[in-house]
Amino acid sequence: MRILRTIAAGVLALCLGSPLALAFDFPKLTGPVVDQADILTAASRSDIAAKSIALQEKSGIQLVVATVRSLEGSDIETYANQLFRAWQLGQAQKNNGVLLLVAPAEHKVRIEVGYGLEGTLTDALSSAIISGAIIPRFKTNDFTGGIDRGVDGIISVLNGDITDWQPKPQGFIIDTDKPGALNTALPILGFLAVAIALRLLIMGIARLVQAIGLVKPSGHYVKRGGRMVFVPVRSSSRSSSSWGSSDSSSSSSSSSDSYSGGGGSSGGGGASGSW
């Protein structure tokens, strides 16, 4: 009897806690842009959809922009993840989907990233795009400009260009007017000098060992100008890789009748913001 009660309690817990997506009234996935909140112009919807379709045709990555009237009492992280899963964005084998979700009523925005793209469109880069490209425009009620700039940022990162979204490096400046600044800098400079000297010493020892024949480099002798010349073998570190190779099976369409997700999923990667 106790076993039956335990099993019943477990089943009840699963029924109450599992299908959270069923509690939401999600909009239908009709295309790369689902503007339920009606905050985009028709021209902007068309332009963003064209960018998304071009990205999918090039790389297989499915980028969808969605605006919703309400988060239905949920936090945006939960809502975005469940919407992503309900729409199954990205290819099933690669999980290469991206969702840009905007909830203007709650002043929330999120970039939700599929499993397969978490190493490319990282949480930090997603946050930089939100804070640097989207929110400043949202604060002036320029939703069209913010979403359009956010889409451009996402696509640039997915194409390998992260220059605009990396933290700016700060130069090494010694303020000699500040007490103790020079005393702090001297040990650092001394350490760098010692490291360089050790590196040069190691390189010199290696060349000496090679010269006296203790270590024989790989290579072969060739006859040039009447004398034998040793030609070492050089290892090539070049690798041929192309970003964005897509499966021939990936499909994209601007038609609302045939547009759908590819079976992908998300584990909650990405970033959120508010204004």
The CATH number of the domain holding residue 55 is: 3.10.310.50
Tokens of 254: 């601007």
Specify the higher pLDDT residue, 110 or 181. Answer: 110
The CA-CA-CA angle for residues 122, 240, 248, to 5°, reads: 70
Helix (H, G, I), strand (E, B) or coil at 247: coil
pTM score: 0.64
First vs last Cα of the chain: how many Å apart? 55
Domain presence at residue 136 = yes
Domain presence at residue 126 = yes
Domain presence at residue 224 = no
> Angle of helix 42-59 relative to helix 143-158, nearest 10 degrees?
10
Q: Which of 98-107, 179-188, 252-261 has the highest mean pLDDT?
A: 98-107
Distance from C-alpha of 227 to C-alpha of 229, rounded to nearest angstrom: 6
List all residues 6 or more positions away from 122 whose beta carbon is below 8 Å from its beta carbon. Answer: 269
Q: Is the pLDDT of residue 252 over 90?
A: no
Question: Of 38-42, 145-149, 240-244, where does mean pLDDT reach its minimum?
Answer: 240-244
Domain presence at residue 3 = no
Distance of CA 111 to the CA centre of its chain: 10
Q: Which of 54, 39, 38 is nearest to 254 (CA)?
A: 54
Domain presence at residue 13 = no
29-75 pLDDT tens trace: 999 999 999 999 999 999 999 999 999 999 999 999 999 999 999 99
Distance from C-alpha of 5 to C-alpha of 111, rounded to nearest angstrom: 42
Q: How many domains does the chain have?
A: 1
Domain presence at residue 250 = no
Domain presence at residue 139 = yes
84-100 pLDDT tens trace: 999 999 999 999 999 99
- Within 13 Å and on the Cβ side, how many CA atoms surround 99? 38
Domain presence at residue 108 = yes
What is the extent of the structural domain holding 100? 28-167+264-274
List all residues 6 or more positions away from 146 whose beta carbon is below 8 Å from its beta carbon. Answer: 133, 134, 135, 136, 137, 138
Distance from C-alpha of 92 to C-alpha of 49, rounded to nearest angstrom: 21
Instruction: Tell me which amino acid residue 64 is.
Output: V
